[in-house]
Structure 1
Amino acid sequence: MAANPDLQAVEFLLVDPNGVMRGKWAPADSLKKAFEEGVNFPMSIHGLDIWGREVAETGLHIESGDRDGYFRAVPGTLSRVPWAARPTAQVLLRGFTPEGEPLRFDCRNTLSRITKALARRGLYPDVAFELEFYLLEPGTDWDDGMPAPVGATSGPDRQRMYGLDDLAEYGALFDDIRSAADAQNLPIDTIVKEAAPGQFEVNLKHRCDPLRAADDVIMLRRIVFGCARKHGLQATFMAKPFIEYAGNGMHVHASMLDAEGRNVFAGEAGKKNLGGVIAELIRTMPQALLLFINTWNGFRRIQPGSYAPTRAVWAENNRSVALRIPASTEENRRVEHRIAGADANPYIVLCAILQAMMDGLEKLETPPPPVTGNAYANTEAAQLPDDMDEALQLTQAGQFCDRALGPELAKIYKDLKRAEILAFWSEITPLERTTYL
């Protein structure tokens, strides 16, 4: 506050199990209370569906008295909001019970629990995210009310993967994104033109701090939304906004360091460690899929030939698989987890990945052989569900979700996904009506 005496407002931000950011606006002088005592929110904010409606099955709403908890500011996440109309700050919050205990169904607290469990074993995850998104032209109608991706209406279909002209065309926007990221201490690395009109990817640098890496994702999405609006555009991280174009993925690069900062995947001994991690990630992948693809729409992205994986397989230097071991030096050997949609909850995604990595390093089982060539043509490996209900059934039948999220958050998450499925089942689509009327 001393360094920013002009501040008038603060936006208190928290992330629900669906990965949706919720919160409230408050006067800037309430920041001190947020750090010291916490801001009151109903704990049932973690029991809302994707549309922000109460899901009674979670047990968090009126049947429990809909009690408040305290949501305290997360140190290191306080920053200015460059695109705000008046001088405004923002800060992430984490939840506590009225008794002062960390809220066990707050996804950030859950990831903190796993990170501490790894630290007790002398293990420290080093992770980085890559996020794809589309820039859209408001006021256009590409498909049933969906705005057109930028460039899609200006002549022949333009894919222009890795094209520099598209980056230059929106250079002012990307400059604003980088400036906002610098102001908010987000470590942006590269920005790339991706595989469809108007599709881009932002890569974040590695952090040996999973909580901050997940925070980076939440804040990056917010930066892209805000800067796009400033430039008269709309951004979407929706996993599959267009049937005819590539979906938006969230790729996670993960390695594990020991107490001396050495990569436990390096060297000959590291290959055995890496094999154990791959084996457990593959084994748990079907029942964890709903943690990586958390929306009804996200399962539309799981299509052969789309660079979104359809089978629980791995390989080195191969982008058709679910788990890729990128080409790198031994010291930088890591797993690239390629399943999650760009709209997934990054805390929950990391909970699933890091829990499997921790278990894999303890079991050190032998992974299945790596695939060669086109993984979509491999008919021997397990097919991943392309349907949200089937994915939920696999999650409910297994125990991994409860292990990764803890029983409280796991129950709420499954209740929310069941409510989402039922909502889509209750909707009759225009295609059905035009077909069967």
Structure 2
Amino acid sequence: MPEIPPAETASKSPFISAEHEAEYRAFVEAHPDIEAVEFLIVDPNGMLRGKWAPGDALKKAFQDGVNFPMSLHGLDVWGREVSETGLHIETGDKDGYCRATRGSLSIVPWAKRKTAQVLLQTFTPEGEPFMADPRQVLKRKVAEVNERGYFPVVAFELEFYLLDPEVEWDDGMPAPVGATAGPDRLRMYGLDDLAEHAELFDMIRDAAAAQNLPIDTIIKEAAPGQFEVNLKHRADPLRAADDVIMLERIVMGCARAHGLTATFMAKPFLEYAGNGMHVHASVLDRDGNNIFSGDAGRKRLESAIGGLLKTMPESLLLFINTWNGFRRITPGSYAPTRAVWGENNRSVALRIPVSSEENRRLEHRIAGADANPYLVMAALIQGIVEGIENKEVPPPPVVGNAYDDGGLFLPDDMDEALQLMARSSFVERALGPLMAKVYQDLKRAEILAFWAEITQLERTTYL
């Protein structure tokens, strides 16, 4: 059988489950001097929100839950209420219960005081999962496909920039570390760049180990100050998405402790490569076998690719979820511009990497590093399963440069992507009706906000 997380066992104690109680008690026994706790919640934009509390408040997250307004999931990227979501004052701005996510309780290594952190998920006042919470959306999706005999195994790769806040680069933006040393500082796969920041990366690895995050490789990427951290495969997509959120927090916290700024912004610099979130995915059957291996498995893999390609334009706004993210999708940048696939080809949207037969998988290369990993994963799982069950047949694979090859161009702006999503029934199947509505309301509000701004370029051109 695949490595499936155990079901939570009911408990007669005030704790949510026996597993939650055991986790809490083991942590407090190991860390009896906790002074503070940071409660963390992921909103539909993939942004962490929450609050700080004294250390003795930690137990509440493992019992009844911590009260938060459910409208937290109806905020735009600037943290402003979007009334169209229907989650705000028109409901009385109700509180829900936010309860600890099992396995997420850990120490915050960079905090000055002894501080714990725990990732929460939102429930309604009636105790039902709140389906505008992206973690609840993915949890339901995973349970649904597990019931049908599909057990996804996934791994995320995240790119980011390290910036020096003491050096200005462009329009007040801090410079990428090393950028002022000259144009030769791209140094892709450069070991010297890793060595220059060895203390920072050691701190990142130590923090990840303390928080049970399975970090694999760390790579110097294709621009000054750009790096990539790869996470190991998990047979639990929910925990894999949790890993992304926690890794982003670790990287930013450790960078700050070293006097630097880390950004996962999809395209912080026009002249340099953008930051991507690549996802590797295979699927196990009930016996733990990779359903993509063998000749029959190869056909299933191609059907999964066909399902993802077919639904790619209408779900693109889940993968490229910001106005800035569409700047990353440019020819020749290793960020795909067409809904095409290929083998061992980094210019396509869906790649079949070189691997052994038993490890055959696909790589989804579209998402920006600032995308919400829970929603990205829900859409990928839905597309893969629909492709397999409908026996989709993809177009021929691209050989060579996919930017010059035929194939369906993906939407290149946020408004077009939103219009395609609004006409889609797939997104509702992937996310559920509430999240599909809330997400579109949030993106529409963000588009209107950008349209309402007159840029400095316009002023310098027409004044």
Normalised by the size of structure 1, how large is the TM-score?
0.99
Q: May I ask how many residue pairs the two structures share in their alignment? A: 436
Corresponding residue number in structure 2 for 1:119 = 146
Corresponding residue number in structure 1 for 2:296 = 269
Corresponding residue number in structure 1 for 2:414 = 388
Distance 1:357 1:284 in 2: 10
Corresponding residue number in structure 1 for 2:191 = 164
Whichever residue aligns with residue 170 of structure 2, its letter is D
SS for the counterpart of 1:139 is strand
Corresponding residue number in structure 2 for 1:343 = 370
Corresponding residue number in structure 2 for 1:106 = 133
SS for the counterpart of 2:371 is coil
Whichever residue aligns with residue 435 of structure 1, its letter is T
Distance 1:110 1:209 in 2: 14
Corresponding residue number in structure 2 for 1:425 = 451
Superposed displacement of residue 166, structure 1: 0.2
Superposed displacement of residue 401, structure 1: 1.1
Whichever residue aligns with residue 262 of structure 1, its letter is N
Superposed displacement of residue 139, structure 1: 2.3
Corresponding residue number in structure 2 for 1:232 = 259
Corresponding residue number in structure 2 for 1:199 = 226
How do 1:129-140 and structure 2 match up within 5 A?
129-140=156-167
Corresponding residue number in structure 2 for 1:324 = 351
Q: Which runs of 5+ in 1 are unaligned?
A: none
Distance 2:175 2:60 in 1: 44
Superposed displacement of residue 203, structure 1: 0.2
1:374 pairs with 2:401: yes
Corresponding residue number in structure 2 for 1:24 = 51
Match of 1:410 among 431, 436, 455: 436
Whichever residue aligns with residue 177 of structure 2, its letter is V
SS for the counterpart of 1:142 is strand
Whichever residue aligns with residue 407 of structure 1, its letter is P
Corresponding residue number in structure 1 for 2:64 = 37
Corresponding residue number in structure 1 for 2:176 = 149
Distance 2:213 2:29 in 1: 22
Spell out structure 1 runs of 4+ moving beyond 6 A. Answer: none
Distance 1:155 1:119 in 2: 52
Distance 1:347 1:173 in 2: 27
Distance 2:186 2:236 in 1: 35
Superposed displacement of residue 157, structure 1: 3.9
SS for the counterpart of 1:263 is coil
Distance 2:237 2:451 in 1: 36
Q: Please provide the CA RMSD for this pair.
A: 0.7
Distance 1:16 1:339 in 2: 21
Instruction: Render the CA deviation track for 1:296-335: whole Å, top value 9, x for unaligned.
Output: 0000000000000000000000000000000001100001
Percent of paired sites with the same residue = 73
1:292 pairs with 2:319: yes
Superposed displacement of residue 275, structure 1: 1.3
Distance 2:456 2:285 in 1: 55
Distance 1:143 1:274 in 2: 44
Superposed displacement of residue 28, structure 1: 1.4
Superposed displacement of residue 156, structure 1: 3.5
Corresponding residue number in structure 2 for 1:85 = 112
Distance 1:373 1:31 in 2: 54
Match of 2:309 among 282, 297, 307: 282
Whichever residue aligns with residue 458 of structure 2, its letter is E
1:256 pairs with 2:287: no
Normalised by the size of structure 2, how large is the TM-score?
0.93
Distance 1:418 1:152 in 2: 36
Distance 1:304 1:87 in 2: 47
Corresponding residue number in structure 2 for 1:65 = 92
Distance 1:183 1:124 in 2: 27
Distance 2:183 2:408 in 1: 39
Distance 1:279 1:81 in 2: 42
SS for the counterpart of 1:191 is strand
Distance 1:389 1:181 in 2: 37
Distance 1:401 1:413 in 2: 10
Distance 1:156 1:412 in 2: 44
1:190 pairs with 2:205: no
SS for the counterpart of 1:141 is strand
Q: Which runs of 5+ in 2 are unaligned?
A: 1-27
